[in-house]
Amino acid sequence: MNIGDKVRVVHGKEEGIIVGFGLKGIIEVMLSDGFRIPFSKSDLVVVSNLEEKVFSKTEDSKDVVKTPIRTSFSDKGIFIGKTLENDGTHTFHLINNTDFQLLFTSYLIKPNEDAKTLASAILQKKTTIQLFYTQQVSLLEESKLLCQILFFANGRNEIKLPLVKDADLRLKFWKGEQDILPVLGRKGFKVQIDHDLAIEEWKTVGTAMTETSQKSILISHKPPLELDLHIEKLVNDYYTLKPDEMLRYQLRAFESHIEKSISAGLKEVVYIHGIGNGILKAELAKKLSGNIFVKHYEDARKDKYGMGATKVVLK
Domain boundaries in the chain?
A: 6-56, 77-209, 222-314
**Which listed CATH number (2.10.109.10, 2.60.120.260, 2.60.40.1600, 1.25.60.10) goes with 77-209?**
2.60.40.1600
pLDDT of residue 227: 93
Q: Are 48 and 13 in contact (CB under 8 A)?
A: no
Cα 315 versus chain centre, distance = 23
pLDDT of residue 312: 94
Low-confidence spans in the chain with pLDDT less than 70: 1, 3, 22-24, 32-36, 48-75, 156-158, 195-221
pTM above threshold 0.85: no
CATH architecture entry for 222-314: 2-Layer Sandwich (3.30)
Residue from 260, 297, 291, 289 nearest 162 by CA? 260
Residue from 203, 198, 205 nearest 71 by CA? 198
pLDDT of residue 273: 92
Strand order of the β-sheet with 101-109 is 116-123, 101-109, 144-152, 163-168
As a whole number of angstroms, the distance between CA 151 and CA 101 comes to: 6
The DSSP 8-state label assigned to residue 70 in this structure reads: P
Helices marked H in 153-230: 199-205, 211-220
If one looks up domain 6-56 in CATH, what number appears? 2.30.30
